[in-house]
Amino acid sequence: MSVVIVVGAQWGDEGKGKVVDLFTERADLVVRYGGGANAGHTLVIDGKKLVTHLVPSGVCHPGKSCVLGDGMVIEPHTLLEEIAQCQARGLLSRGELLIGLGAHVILPYHKLIDALREDRGAKTGRALGTTRRGIGPAYEAKAARRGVRVRDLARPARLRELVAANLDELSPLIDHLGGTHPSQAEVDRWVDDALAAGRALAPHTGDAGRHVARAIASGLHVLFEGAQGCLLDLDHGTYPYVTSSSTIAAGACQSAGIGPTAIDAVVGITKAYATRVGAGPFPTELHGEAGERLRKAGGEYGATTGRPRRCGWLDLPALRMGARLSGMTSLALTKLDVLAGLPEVSVCVAYQVDGQELDEPPTDPDDIARAEPVFTSFPGWGTLPSTARDVADLPGPARAYVETIERLAGVSFCLVSVGPDRNETIRLHDPFAAPR
Ligand code: IMP
């Protein structure tokens, strides 16, 4: 087993950072494969926090190589800041980062359009609640075949031409959205800044696809790090309340340019409850005090935007859907400790729509909006020992909760996290080892 994909099983923010960091111990190469600085990974190492948006969470292990795949959309200045932040902590000191030359670049006008749309959406009630990082507009440009790629940052004339052509096309849209057009001086500065960033990033750029393929061919352990979660997938998520990339496991193959037969295992990360940031259906959402309690206990505020996350009970139909979409071979359960102290813990086991019981969410957004979650409740557990290293160390009710989720999700756990630190973890199975 040498190629493992880690994906978020819900709507993102499942605690992938910690899990990827742990799995990186056994990996040689960590590849981030989709999205951009809309993601935010909070890593806690020896009690100290490091937040990354673009650099893979595997960065915390000196000497391991990190790759940003061609399927990503990269904001060059954010990436440079993150590299500097890592280097200040003694990480990425030996050029262990490779940025795909085919990855797309986020430029200020992508962020401008994203923000204008969100502002207008806020007035019309149609906002998606994006991170405003320019993700959608950058992927739109890519699909329209007029995007700027990392390789273009080394070609001044081409970059200027591309930016001018893009702004020319976007001009009526900026008018339509009531935005202010950038002055020529501003556009020139954007281009100069992008070229300067391109020069600084150049030593880290290369053919990411071949690099990953060679690593796999030579038997190295490769870990693909997904961003966001399966239910935010552009094709299969809760459209239109999704991100603009492929967040499911298949996205790893597409982004890195490798075939699906290279993949040995897919680990889905799920929180012991559910959260969602931005707009969109969330049938198990808890409002009022109950939601606030989970938000506070779990520190559920966006690592990228600081927005309070919507919180609710674990949604098994959604988890089953994520497991199906990504072909998960195991699950990692995170933040079990956050539920400690609740008198009762509930889980949605099915949905009811028009008197029919469904074991996965309906695909029509109107149906999801009126779906009634069917809950099962568990007695709570007072405290959860962060020293637990085996499921048997958990208090009885917590153990019953974990075992029931595993049974009803139909996928077994490889890991249960009982606290934020690296060592506060029950490790059940190494995804790089042969299947059980
Ligand atoms: P975008 O990716 O910024 O276009 O945002 C689209 C939707 O995906 C919004 O609801 C965001 O809140 C959500 N989203 C994007 N990235 C993340 C993430 O890393 N975690 C959780 N939600 C995200």
- 3-state SS, the chain, equals CCEEEEEECCCCCCCHHHHHHHHHHHCCEEEECCECCCCCEEEEECCEEEEECCCCHHHHCCCCEEEECCCEEECHHHHHHHHHHHHHCCCCCCCCEEEECCCEECCHHHHHHHHHHHHHHHHHCCCCCCCCCCHHHHHHHHHCCCCCEHHHHHCHHHHHHHHHHHHHHHHHHHHHCCCCCCCHHHHHHHHHHHHHHHHHHHHHEECHHHHHHHHHHCCCCEEEECCCCHHHCCCCCCCCCCCCCCCCCHHHHHHHCCCHHHCCEEEEEEECCEEECCCCCCCCECCHHHHHHHHHHHCCECCCCCCECEEECEEHHHHHHHHHHHCCCEEEEECHHHHCCCCEEEEEEEEEECCEEECCCCCCHHHHHHCEEEEEEEECCCCCCCCCCCHHHCCHHHHHHHHHHHHHHCCCEEEEECCCCCCCEEECCCCCCCCC
Other Cβ atoms within 10 Å of 132 Cβ, number: 18
Query: Distance (Å, rounded) from C-alpha 142 to C-alpha 29?
Result: 27
CATH number of 104-203: 1.10.300.10
Identify the residue whose tokens are 């020139």.
Answer: 188
Any idea where the domains of the chain sit in the sequence?
3-94+208-427, 104-203
Tell me how far the alpha carbon of residue 403 lies from the centroid of ligand 1, in angstroms.
30
Closest Cα to atom 20 of ligand 1: 12
So what's the pLDDT on residue 49?
Answer: 75
**Candidate of 130, 231, 304 to mutate for ligand 1, largest count of ligand atoms within 8 Å of Cβ:** 130
Question: pTM to 2 decimals?
Answer: 0.95
Identify the residue whose tokens are 């440009």.
Answer: 141
Query: Distance (Å, rounded) from C-alpha 215 to C-alpha 95?
Result: 17
Tell me how far the alpha carbon of residue 37 lies from the centroid of ligand 1, in angstroms.
10
Query: Distance (Å, rounded) from C-alpha 74 to C-alpha 68?
Result: 9
Tell me how far the alpha carbon of residue 244 lies from the centroid of ligand 1, in angstroms.
9
Query: Distance (Å, rounded) from C-alpha 148 to C-alpha 27?
Result: 31
Query: Distance (Å, rounded) from C-alpha 294 to C-alpha 300?
Result: 8
Tell me how far the alpha carbon of residue 234 lies from the centroid of ligand 1, in angstroms.
11
Query: Distance (Å, rounded) from C-alpha 251 to C-alpha 256?
Result: 8
User: 3-94+208-427 belongs to which CATH class?
Assistant: alpha beta
So what's the pLDDT on residue 95?
Answer: 67
Tell me how far the alpha carbon of residue 189 lies from the centroid of ligand 1, in angstroms.
28
Tell me how far the alpha carbon of residue 164 lies from the centroid of ligand 1, in angstroms.
28
Q: Which two tokens stand for residue 193?
A: 């800044």
Closest Cα to atom 10 of ligand 1: 278
* Residue 86 backbone phi and psi in degrees, to 5: -65, -45
| Closest atom, ligand 1, to C-alpha of 114 | 4
Selecting among 21, 41, 104, 211, the annotated active-site residue is 41
Closest Cα to atom 2 of ligand 1: 243
**Candidate of 112, 243, 300, 311 to mutate for ligand 1, largest count of ligand atoms within 8 Å of Cβ:** 243
Selecting among 13, 21, 114, 337, the annotated active-site residue is 13
Is 364 one of the annotated active-site residues of the chain? no
Q: What sign has the CA pseudo-torsion 197, 201, 202, 206?
A: negative
Tell me: the pLDDT tens digits for 309-319? 999 999 999 99
Query: Distance (Å, rounded) from C-alpha 36 to C-alpha 138?
Result: 10
Closest Cα to atom 16 of ligand 1: 38
Over the Cα atoms of the chain, what is R_g? 22
Pocket of ligand 1 (CB under 6 A): 11-13, 38-40, 128-131, 133, 135-136, 227-228, 232, 241, 243-244, 277-278
Identify whether the C-beta of residue 106 lies closer than 8 Å to the C-beta of residue 74.
yes
Identify whether the C-beta of residue 141 lies closer than 8 Å to the C-beta of residue 109.
no
So what's the pLDDT on residue 51?
Answer: 82
Q: How far is CA 201 from the centre of its chain?
A: 23
User: Residue 52: which of 10, 80, 90 has the closest Cα?
Assistant: 80
| Closest atom, ligand 1, to C-alpha of 131 | 3
Please list the ranges in the chain whose pLDDT falls under 50: none
Cβ burial of 389 (10 Å; 0-12, 13-18, 19+) is middle
Query: Distance (Å, rounded) from C-alpha 358 to C-alpha 376?
Result: 15
Is 53 one of the annotated active-site residues of the chain? no
Query: Distance (Å, rounded) from C-alpha 379 to C-alpha 397?
Result: 6
* 33 Cβ contact partners less than 8 Å away, ≥ 6 residues apart: 69, 71, 72, 224, 225, 226, 227, 251, 252, 254, 255, 256
| Closest atom, ligand 1, to C-alpha of 279 | 10
Identify whether the C-beta of residue 113 lies closer than 8 Å to the C-beta of residue 174.
yes
